[in-house]
A and B are shown apart, each in its own frame.
Chain A
Amino acid sequence: MAGGELLRTPLYEEHRSLGARLVDFAGWEMPVQYEGIKAEHQAVRNHAGLFDVSHMGEAFFRGPGAEEAVQRLITRDVSRLDEGQAGYSAVCYEDGGTVDDVIVYRRPDDFLVVVNASNREKDLEHFRANSEDLDVEISDETVDWGLLALQGPEAEALLQELTETDLSALNPFRFAEGEVAGAQTIISRTGYTGEDGFELYLPSDDAPRVWRELLEVGATPAGLGARDTLRLEAGMCLYGNELDPETTPLEAGIGFAVHLDKEQEFIGQDALKKEKEEGLRKKLVGFEVDGRGIARHDYPIKVEEDTVGKVTSGTLSPTLNKAIGLALVSPGVEDRFEVVIRERPVEAHTVELPFYKREKR
């Protein structure tokens, strides 16, 4: 975003009235916290938190060539998705580097691809430039939609108070169209926190009312600060940290979203197949800091005197009360290394991801 006015979601006034701290996030004026990141984080882990993520981009693919376009653009095989099913996927360049990570929804008459706010313009250009030969209309409807994420163990019970749709029948990565507090909504059992929860796509005009009703039934407003610590504990990638044009989805550990055997070719498929055969150039690992200090984005990783990678994300985990992080390191790196924190090397060791896993119902 080159200068100019910040964009505002339909919930801007709600954030103001709750006393949120607002920051520029990818050109949007977004709440980073209300009461405090730790309290909001715990509210999501133990009860239910409500996030405004209306800045996320909604791109609809319509027309007879829609499926072919989506298949070409994303790494997941959408022919394996049922109507009413969503899938996490990467979007790649020809060389396998990552354009974005997205959620694709297979709807009866079209596909909805939800993209990161920071990549929206770039993605739309990439989508259109690579589907010119197909009979598809790609429509950016970001400003028409509000997007609320209700996350936490109490999410289902709270949302059920506002909808007739039977939420107990909605499995993870499934979605249904229904009314929430009278607003026509795509109710999706997805999220970015490691908890059970829902993402609600609804008309912008209805968003403030539904937001207020969800707070009234007991959800805690939560900002982008807590969203980041929650996703990191859950070992989920953030574009710009773990994923970028120099990093493939295989390297970032999201190979589960890449169907290399997909029949219809996708952009980057050959490069990714080759990388898989020849071996990864780097790999994503989770680690805990043993010494004193907190690892942060871009801090170097060393083994003896050699720089072998860098931290992609790091924080103090509010749930574990330990300094945790994700790093992209050389493939040969084993279970111990040092993170250089303000010129001081501090011992760290790798741990299995995710750092936090919720107990299943």
Chain B
Amino acid sequence: MSVPEELQYTRSHEWVRTEGDTATIGITEYAQEELGDIVFVELPEEGATFDAGDSLGTLESVKAVSDIYTPVGGEVVEVNSGLDDSPEKINEDPYGEGWIAKLSVSDEGDLLSASDYEQLLEEEES
């Protein structure tokens, strides 16, 4: 299970890449595997603001609907609109082309390091 060292994570299986005061968010390899084939993504509007932990969109697999909780608070500055036509990118490349949104961060939220997240995964697996 891939857990890139340079990212930070949440207990609800999202990841964050912070560059300056911009954060790119997505869901983890583990999350996409649990969901299965993702067939639909509902993205937030650019300019919308969210608190850390809010649902900013939804992912739908063939079977189920699940919320995307933003790990950080702030304003959405860009969304990955390519997911509208190719939601499977989240399955194929969750840390790369499957990114979901970029936020201008006003609240850093409560994040886990890669090693803490790996430990969480071990606990969930057992």
Contact = CB atoms under 8 A, between A and B. Distances in A.
A225 B58 contact: no
Interface in B29-73: 36-37, 39-40, 42, 58, 60-63, 65
Given A32-B63, A342-B58, 6 more contacts: A37-B37, A225-B63, A229-B62, A293-B42, A318-B62, A342-B42
A37 B40 contact: no
Given A294-B60, A316-B60, A342-B58, A37 B36 contact: yes
A316 B61 CA distance: 9
Contact of A36 (B36, B60, B65): B36
Nearest to B65: A296
Nearest to A226: B62
Contact of B62 (A21, A37, A293, A342): A37
A294 B37 contact: no
A312 to B, nearest CB: 16
12 contacts: A36-B36, A36-B37, A225-B63, A292-B40, A293-B42, A294-B65, A296-B65, A315-B63, A316-B60, A323-B40, A342-B42, A342-B58
Q: Chain A interface secondary structure, helix, strand, loop or mixed? A: mixed
Given A38-B62, A229-B62, A318-B62, A293 B37 contact: no
B63 A294 contact: no
A220 interface: no
Contacts of B37: 36-38
Given A37-B36, A293-B42, A316 B65 contact: no
Contacts of B84: 292
Contacts of B58: 342
Interface of A: 21, 32-33, 36-38, 225, 228-229, 292-294, 296, 315-316, 318, 323, 342
A225 B62 contact: yes
B42, B58, B63 pick with most chain A CB within 10 angstroms: B63
A316 B62 contact: yes
A205 B66 CA distance: 40
A316 B36 contact: no
Contacts of A38: 37, 39, 62
A33 B36 contact: yes
B21 to A, nearest CB: 31
A51 B82 CA distance: 35
B7 to A, nearest CB: 25
A35 to B, nearest CB: 10
B63 A316 contact: no
A33 B62 CA distance: 11
A225 B65 contact: no
Interface in B59-107: 60-63, 65, 84
